[in-house]
């Protein structure tokens, strides 16, 4: 059976390179490419791929939020994060969103091929560096109150926050998310209240720090 794959990365040269290499692999077919998370979610709804290889830092909707939506809507679709970030926070967020694999962008192509075969067989694949970070993270997770100390934003609030940080206007955000401008304003106020921030600059810095956007 041929593994049907979608490549999601905001750098065209990265997408083209991966497509070229994957098309040479027996039993693998790249059926689509996407330059941002929102486009990736849309393609998954339409094409129902077997696997999505996705970057974390993308405009409009980041890879973490896109993964969460994809897996929630289509649990049979497997997601592999291919990222430059080895930070435990990004790994934790991506796995919590439902990713079945996590590799670093400096990995050899053979490792990506192995990861695709692994998740295609309903198993989880983590590169050695990531696996070590995950073990250390979960060993320490029980001993701290990280979740209690961190303000919890809803999925919609995280979407709105990313778009705010990327400089979108209230009207543009409303149009992108198919909600009213009044609702966008309400989300913005709720976000600022939860985070105890008073300015868009503070929101932007927070979004970058949390990996919601790379802008």
CATH topology of domain 3-141: Rossmann fold (3.40.50)
Cα–Cα nearest to 112, from 24, 10, 210, 13: 24
pLDDT of residue 137: 59
Q: C-alpha dihedral over 49, 51, 55, 61, to 10 degrees?
A: 40
pLDDT of residue 49: 97
pLDDT of residue 146: 47
* 120: Cα separation from own chain's centroid: 19
All CATH 3.40.50.2300 domain ranges of the chain, comma separated, are: 3-141
Rounded Cα distance between 151 and 133, Å, is 23
pLDDT of residue 35: 96
Spans in the chain with pLDDT lower than 50:
139, 141-143, 145-149
Best CATH choice for the domain 151-209 from the list 1.10.10.10, 3.40.50.300, 1.10.1060.10, 3.30.499.10: 1.10.10.10
Does residue 80 contact residue 100 with C-beta atoms inside 8 Å?
yes
For residue 72, the tally of other CB atoms under 10 A from its CB is: 11
pLDDT of residue 127: 86
All CATH 1.10.10.10 domain ranges of the chain, comma separated, are: 151-209
Helix axis angle for 88-97 and 63-73, nearest 10°, is 20
Helix, coil or strand: residue 81: strand
pLDDT tens by residue, 6-46: 999 999 999 999 999 998 999 999 999 999 999 999 999 99
Rounded Cα distance between 29 and 175, Å, is 34
pLDDT of residue 114: 93
170: left (phi over 0), alpha (psi -120 to 50) or beta: alpha
């Amino acid at each position: 059976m041929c593994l049907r794959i979608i490549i999601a990365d905001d750098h065209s040269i990265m997408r083209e390179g991966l497509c070229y290499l994957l098309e040479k692999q027996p039993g693998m077919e790249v059926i689509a490419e996407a330059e941002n998370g929102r486009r990736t979610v849309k393609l998954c709804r339409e094409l129902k791929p077997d696997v999505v290889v996705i970057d974390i830092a993308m405009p409009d909707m980041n890879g973490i939020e896109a993964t969460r939506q994809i897996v929630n809507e289509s649990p049979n679709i497997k997601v592999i994060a291919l990222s430059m970030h080895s930070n435990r926070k990004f790994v934790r967020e991506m796995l919590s969103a439902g990713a079945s694999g996590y590799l670093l962008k400096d990995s050899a192509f053979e490792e990506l091929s192995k990861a695709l075969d692994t998740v295609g067989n309903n198993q989880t694949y983590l590169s050695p560096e990531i696996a070590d970070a995950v073990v250390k993270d979960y060993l320490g997770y029980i001993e701290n109150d990280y979740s209690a100390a961190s303000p919890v934003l809803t999925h919609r609030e995280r979407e709105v926050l990313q778009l705010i940080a990327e400089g979108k206007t209230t009207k543009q955000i409303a149009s992108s998310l198919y909600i009213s401008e009044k609702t966008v304003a309400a989300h913005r106020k709720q976000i600022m209240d939860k985070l105890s921030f008073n300015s868009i600059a503070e929101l932007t810095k927070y979004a970058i720090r949390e990996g919601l956007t790379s802008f």
